[in-house]
Amino acid sequence: MRTTPTILVIPTGIGCEIGGFAGDALPAAKLLASASGCLVTHPNVMNGGALSEKNERIFYVEGYSLDRFARAEIGLKKVNQQKIGIIFDRNIENEILLRHLQVADACVATLGIDIASYVITDEPVGIVISDEFSGFSTGYIRNPETLIKAGKSLIKQGITAVAIVTRFPDEIDVENVNLYREGKGIDVIAGVEAVISHIISKYLKIPCAHAPALTPIDLKMNLDPRAAAEEIGYTFLPSVLIGLSTAPDLIDLPDFNNKITLYPNEIESIVVPNGALGGEAVLACMERDLNIIAVKNVGFLNVSSKWFDYKKLFIVDNYIEAAGLLIAIREGINYKSIKRPIKSIYKCP
């Protein structure tokens, strides 16, 4: 069967109805992977706390590296298994650290994942979450150098992929956290998580993903099902380890050793929320004249199709329709033949 390699992006921390919660875009990713035969997406789509899946048709690529792939700076090489190391923040208390180490041992014993070693940063990473609610999740870290140093020490030991676990403050805005748990708000820590993984991707150029370390929160009765995956364990590390276990290697272009499984020039389409058309991956795909499939997936960001005059921009109502469009592209069927009314062909001027 012919494949139509596709990128799926659902930006972190903008409160999308699908993909703004705990791995709730994973079913959509599986559907699009089935329709296209080959999907490249990022941890925000795949990670569901304690829940995730491996899928041989899905390439798990951190967001910064996915943007580089869309810009045709790197290619992706499938691997049978990554050798994972874990960076732990110096600020993590012993009891919480032990919970995470037990998760790693469980993933080795039960899932057969290769997790070789871990390192604790020399200094606290220093998480700062913005206290100004703007509709987006934002923040920064005070000490990126300690993360980079820890990652380099793992690479020297033969590690090929890195999971990062940092201690987030317990004094997070309770009102916004509860709104998120009820399905009415954004993930307030997601923006800083993206900053952390982007730093590792940029400076170490290996597969990576982040999991926050938090103290357990109280049971909530009116919990939205989309947030429920984050409530069933002591850590959010399992999905990160599952995703990284077979994440592709990142190969700088040009590649003279023919190591690459998927080249950027093989991508035909990118699927993205209609309000998030200003992202780097989308703009790079526009520059390369690819199909932009914009899904009506409501979030707080509103860079929509009204700002773009692009001939290959397709607006669809949902991910089921996006999957149908990808099948039409894959099979060489004119999608206009399926829509009604059908316009007559016209005479060239």
DSSP 94-150: HHHHHHHHHHHHHHHHHH---EEEEEE-SS---EEE--S--SS--EEES-HHHHHHH
- Identical fold at 6-78+262-337 and 84-250? yes
Instruction: Tell me the pTM.
Output: 0.94
* Check whether domain 6-78+262-337 has CATH 3.40.50, yes or no: yes
How do 115-120 and 208-213 pair as beta strands?
A: unpaired
Tokens of 198: 């982007």
Given a contact cutoff of 8 angstroms between Cβ atoms, the answer to whether 300 and 14 are in contact is yes
Using CB atoms within 10 A of its CB, is residue 227 exposed (0-12), middle (13-18) or buried (19+)?
A: buried
Starting at the earlier edge strand, list the strands of the sheet with 84-88.
Answer: 115-120, 84-88, 161-167, 208-213
- At residue 205, φ and ψ (nearest 5 deg) are 55, 40
Given a contact cutoff of 8 angstroms between Cβ atoms, the answer to whether 165 and 92 are in contact is yes
Give pLDDT, residue 7: 98
How do 39-41 and 58-60 pair as beta strands?
A: parallel
Please report where in the chains the tokens 């995956």 appear, as a residue: 229
- Choices 3.40.50, 1.10.4160, 1.10.287, 1.10.150: CATH for 84-250: 3.40.50
Task: Encode pLDDT of 119-176 as tens digits.
Answer: 999 999 999 987 655 566 778 899 999 999 999 999 999 999 999 999 988 877 667 7
Given a contact cutoff of 8 angstroms between Cβ atoms, the answer to whether 297 and 273 are in contact is yes
How do 84-88 and 161-167 pair as beta strands?
A: parallel
Low-confidence ranges of the chain (pLDDT < 50): none
What are the boundaries of each domain within the chain? 6-78+262-337, 84-250
Q: For residue 332, give the amino acid letter.
A: G
